[in-house]
Structure 1
Amino acid sequence: MSSVTAGATIGARLDRLPVSAFHRKVFGLVAVGMFFEGFDIYIAASVLGAAYKSGFSTLAQNGLFISMTFVGMTLGAFLTGFLGDRYGRRRTYQLNLIVFGAASIASAFAPNMETLIVLRFLMGLGLGAETVVGYSIVTEFFPPKVRGRWSGLIATTVTCGLPASALMAWLLVPTFGWRVMFILGGVGALIAWLLRRGLPESPRWLEAVGRQAEAEALVSDIERHAAMGGALPAPDLSARPVAPGRAADLLRAPLLSRLIVGCVSLMVVNTLIYGFVTWLPTIFIGQGQTIASSTAFALLMAVGGPIGSALGAVSADLFGRKRTIITAAAVAILLSAAFPLSQDIILTAAIGFLLTIPIYVLVAALFAVYIPELFPTELRLRGVGISNAAGRSASIVVPLLIAPILAQHGVAGVLTLMGVALVLLIVVVAWLGIEPERKSIEAVAPAPA
């Protein structure tokens, strides 16, 4: 190791590396678990309809099943933030997968709906944790020039879980029943758990908790993979080292304003998903469509999820985080205004498809890229966890508001709520948000003095 490298921080040494096979391995290990997280979040649509039709559940129990999913995810996101900063990313990540996978497989053998609801809460704990840790790990490993792209591609992997879940349900549930969906999700999670035993701990976290020798050994190994016998760029010797942080620091400048941005942003995104996207079949039925056609239209628009996430991944690096977020929100406002005005069902479906694209641009740009960059390494998971918990709380409350709004004011009322939420997002990000594009996360998110 050269004297230049010896004087550099762990973060500076990671930031100057080209993307190598090591980075792609980390990406793959995170992506496989995140895919099954997306698969399982959307599993409710296929499972609950079949369970109700067979007499296993009632409509009230189905509603409680959905609520417990989001209660578990809210609590899981919050707790994981503190556990991940205290015990490490890798250990926490493995714990959430084993909880989710075991509960999912047990759900396939649930003797009654009450047991299934309890198991769904446990699954929610694991699902909430997955989002917090997964995106943060990618943020801490990948260099600034491509960090947004690779983080956003993880979000694309998650959104691919929706069409995958719908397709597997269409193929398997009529023949094997709804329980097979839990087996698929659980086995997938346990396979991801086995694969992730090869996932390294974050060197930035190791440095933050004083395990310098382990951080040094890991980064030296990554450097050997990245160099491939050649010379590496010199690291930035001015970069600050990370150190243990206190949760109270999140309530002081400069982190308080960033915590507000994180909480508000994710509450808005969850309002868009659970106040509009998941209600699309109901909206189409209300416009006179059959169940089959409404489901087909909704599935078509769901394809906008991966497209939007991929665009968000590319745009975050190409145009900057704030510009991507504000532009996508503005486009969504325009399309949400046009959606209820259309009188032709094909045109309405086309507008709806276009509307899902900027919504999922926001999902990738906020969940995957922007929010994890707002907080320093020593407080990252706590900041991300609190922001995700706030966002998940919206997913609990918003569905309860949509039904009466839809009944009294129709689709226009729902889209008005979306428009107001998007305006709030634009104001908060433009006013309080920072621009982390192509910067070291240590430079973007310094700890309070």
Structure 2
Amino acid sequence: MNTHVNAGQRLDSLPIGKFHRRLVLLVGLGMFFDSFDNTLSAGVLASMLDTGFSTLELNSLFLSITFAGLAIGAAFAGWLGDRFGRGFAFQFSLALFGVLALCAALAPSMEVLIALRGLMSIGMGAEYVICYGMITEFIPPGRRGRYLGLLGIFAGLGVSMSSLIGWVVIPAWSWRGMFVLGGVGAMIAWWMRRDMPESPQWLESRGRYDEAEAVLQRIERESGVSSQDVGPAQVAHQPAGATDGKAEWVPITVLFSRPVIRRTLMALILTVTCLFGSYAVTGWMPTFFVEQGMDVSTSLGFNAAIMSGYVAGPLLCVFIVDRLGRRRSIMMFGTLSAVFAGLYPFMSEPALVIAVGFVLVGTVASFLTLGLGTTPEFFPTAFRFRGGGFAQTVGRIGLIFSPFAVLWLFSSYGVFGVILAVSGMYVIVTLLNAVAGVDTSREALEQIAPEGDTNDVPTGPGDAHAPLRKSESSSGAALSGSPGTAWQPDARD
């Protein structure tokens, strides 16, 4: 008879301990170097243009290849994480862009560098999905908002430090030095993360109960909880006749089945908005300043001051998100982003430009952190990474075309057109989230969990719900529950 270890419930009930703090540090380091490598383009491309290593056309191709690689990486991470495990995907993605960053530093031509950058970006895109997914699976819901905020701080510091370090390194060691630093840093983080355990929720969903129990006991010890403290409601047994081995693999078409499709659509809307909004505001800010009559030097100075909001916003998340709940926080930051985006074009005094811009960037960064960090919660363990990865894939494909959309808005309607369009997107997604919020509680996920996703389906006598009846979805995957329970207002995050 197999042992059902109730990994999700046991992880959710743990106090924050040594394991959680180390996990967030190591995940955060990966996010830092991911953001560092992703944003080193500005200084690197300018330097290569100045030395004749590249041209404007090749620089544009470099950026397009980067966006495409990020989109492919997001999709790749979802498949890799659900098929081979979170730990494997976690390390593989970091090693991929770390090794290729070192190779990029030796590129003999811009064409070779572009090819390496495309492959490197696949690892970077995968890392974004995996880092947020790891926080979702390991951190208890009551503290998850705080740690998503910390992850956002690591990402913001990566963006900030990329510009600051580039200002020093590129003149001294050329653009190649930036790739060396990013690659070496990523490999150091990879080495530090080599002993991170596999997700016990994923192990349990694949029928590997003994391994899941061993990992859980290790985490419980590091959290100050002994095996004697685990009550009968947390450890039960599989019913007689349960099959051994791996649970059935659920095809990605499950994301478009009746019980799940509305969650998938909400994840897409949320991800597209947070990525496009962040790109439009942060990527075009210096251009907006120049359009308002500033010289380039002043524009860059204003931009540096305002971009500090990219760290301040997630820092605010650390203190308030767990008090408000993640859905309410997303609605709050979406509303604030819409309001301050609407106010920004009317600012003309330098002090107000900086103050309003700082708050705008901070709220946009907070919305980005919570948007990317919350969407993995919409899906049960068996297809959680593919659900989050699919949403990020669509969002990053949108970024490939976003420069053309922003340019058209800017050419046709000026700064007002761009900012007000972004403001409108935040209004729409906030209203949708308020009216049709996704319930991310464990009971709601039970209703859409595929058969064999034992992490999310309680079966023991001490559980709050009886086993759910198996039914076939339109995709052919075995799903539980009725479609009506898959889309409810989020009562408890």
**Common topology (TM > 0.5):** yes
Structure 2 residue 411 is the aligned partner of structure 1 residue 414 = no
Deviations 1:60-89 (A, max 9, x none): 211111111110000010121111100111
**Larger Rg belongs to:** 2
Task: Please give the alpha-carbon distance, in whole angstroms, between the structure 1 residues aligned to 2:444 and 2:47.
Answer: 46
Please tell me whether the aligned partners of residues 85 and 379 of structure 1 are also in contact (alpha carbons under 8 angstroms). Answer: yes
Deviations 1:182-212 (A, max 9, x none): 1111111111111111111000000011111
SS in 1 for 2:424: helix
Where does residue 255 of structure 2 map in the other structure? 250
Where does residue 315 of structure 2 map in the other structure? 310
Structure 2 residue 141 is the aligned partner of structure 1 residue 116 = no
Deviations 1:359-408 (A, max 9, x none): 0110121112x111111011101101101101111211111221232122
Task: Please give the alpha-carbon distance, in whole angstroms, between the structure 1 residues aligned to 2:344 and 2:146.
Answer: 30
2:345 to 340, 349, 356: 340
Q: How does 1:363-382 map to 2 (within 5 A)?
A: 363-368=368-373, 370-382=374-386
SS in 2 for 1:227: coil
Where does residue 264 of structure 2 map in the other structure? 259
1:37, distance to aligned residue in structure 2 (A)? 0.6
Deviations 1:341-364 (A, max 9, x none): 122233222211110111011012
Q: How does 1:190-269 map to 2 (within 5 A)?
A: 190-227=187-224, 232=229, 234=231, 236-237=233-234, 244=248, 245-269=250-274
Where does residue 136 of structure 1 map in the other structure? 133
Deviations 1:269-328 (A, max 9, x none): 111122221111111122222222211111111110111112234433111122111111
Amino acid at match of 1:363: L
Amino acid at match of 1:116: L
TM-score between both structures, scaled by the size of structure 2: 0.85
Where does residue 389 of structure 1 map in the other structure? 393
1:188 to 185, 191, 214: 185
Please tell me whether the aligned partners of residues 73 and 123 of structure 2 are also in contact (alpha carbons under 8 angstroms). Answer: yes
**Shift in alpha-carbon separation, 1:299–1:214, aligned structure 2, 3 A:** same
Please tell me whether the aligned partners of residues 12 and 440 of structure 1 are also in contact (alpha carbons under 8 angstroms). Answer: no
Amino acid at match of 1:125: I
TM-score between both structures, scaled by the size of structure 1: 0.93
Where does residue 96 of structure 2 map in the other structure? 99
**Shift in alpha-carbon separation, 1:212–1:406, aligned structure 2, 3 A:** same
Structure 2 residue 360 is the aligned partner of structure 1 residue 360 = no
Please tell me whether the aligned partners of residues 258 and 433 of structure 1 are also in contact (alpha carbons under 8 angstroms). Answer: no
SS in 2 for 1:276: helix
Amino acid at match of 2:128: T
Higher alpha-carbon deviation: 180-189 or 347-356: 347-356
Task: Please give the alpha-carbon distance, in whole angstroms, between the structure 2 residues aligned to 1:235 and 1:159.
Answer: 43
Task: Please tell me the root mean square deviation across aligned C-alpha atoms, in Å.
Answer: 2.2
Q: How does 1:61-80 map to 2 (within 5 A)?
A: 61-80=58-77
**Shift in alpha-carbon separation, 1:375–1:8, aligned structure 2, 3 A:** same
**Shift in alpha-carbon separation, 1:287–1:138, aligned structure 2, 3 A:** same
Task: Please give the alpha-carbon distance, in whole angstroms, between the structure 2 residues aligned to 1:400 and 1:279.
Answer: 12
**Stretches of structure 1 lacking an aligned partner (at least 5 in a row):** 1-5
Task: Please give the alpha-carbon distance, in whole angstroms, between the structure 1 residues aligned to 2:321 and 2:260.
Answer: 22
Task: Please give the alpha-carbon distance, in whole angstroms, between the structure 2 residues aligned to 1:118 and 1:444.
Answer: 44
Greater fraction helix: 1
SS in 1 for 2:399: helix
Amino acid at match of 1:418: V
Task: Please give the alpha-carbon distance, in whole angstroms, between the structure 2 residues aligned to 1:216 and 1:166.
Answer: 44
2:440 to 420, 436, 442: 436
1:84 to 81, 92, 109: 81
1:326 to 321, 328, 331: 331
Task: Please give the alpha-carbon distance, in whole angstroms, between the structure 1 residues aligned to 2:237 and 2:412.
Answer: 55
Task: Please give the alpha-carbon distance, in whole angstroms, between the structure 2 residues aligned to 1:431 and 1:397.
Answer: 29
**Shift in alpha-carbon separation, 1:80–1:230, aligned structure 2, 3 A:** closer
Please tell me whether the aligned partners of residues 309 and 363 of structure 1 are also in contact (alpha carbons under 8 angstroms). Answer: no
Please tell me whether the aligned partners of residues 313 and 366 of structure 2 are also in contact (alpha carbons under 8 angstroms). Answer: yes
SS in 1 for 2:223: helix
Please tell me whether the aligned partners of residues 44 and 175 of structure 2 are also in contact (alpha carbons under 8 angstroms). Answer: yes
**Shift in alpha-carbon separation, 1:235–1:158, aligned structure 2, 3 A:** farther
SS in 1 for 2:438: coil
1:106, distance to aligned residue in structure 2 (A)? 1.2
Structure 2 residue 7 is the aligned partner of structure 1 residue 10 = yes
Please tell me whether the aligned partners of residues 301 and 352 of structure 1 are also in contact (alpha carbons under 8 angstroms). Answer: yes
Task: Please give the alpha-carbon distance, in whole angstroms, between the structure 2 residues aligned to 1:301 and 1:143.
Answer: 33
Amino acid at match of 1:23: H
After TM superposition, where is structure 1 displaced by more than 6 Å over at least 4 residues in a row?
238-242
Task: Please give the alpha-carbon distance, in whole angstroms, between the structure 2 residues aligned to 1:12 and 1:228.
Answer: 14
Structure 2 residue 151 is the aligned partner of structure 1 residue 161 = no
1:329, distance to aligned residue in structure 2 (A)? 1.1
Structure 2 residue 292 is the aligned partner of structure 1 residue 295 = no
SS in 1 for 2:106: coil
Task: Please give the alpha-carbon distance, in whole angstroms, between the structure 1 residues aligned to 2:306 and 2:165.
Answer: 18
Task: Please give the alpha-carbon distance, in whole angstroms, between the structure 2 residues aligned to 1:140 and 1:199.
Answer: 13
SS in 2 for 1:57: coil
Where does residue 3 of structure 1 map in the other structure? none
Where does residue 46 of structure 1 map in the other structure? 43
**Shift in alpha-carbon separation, 1:13–1:32, aligned structure 2, 3 A:** same
Amino acid at match of 2:129: V
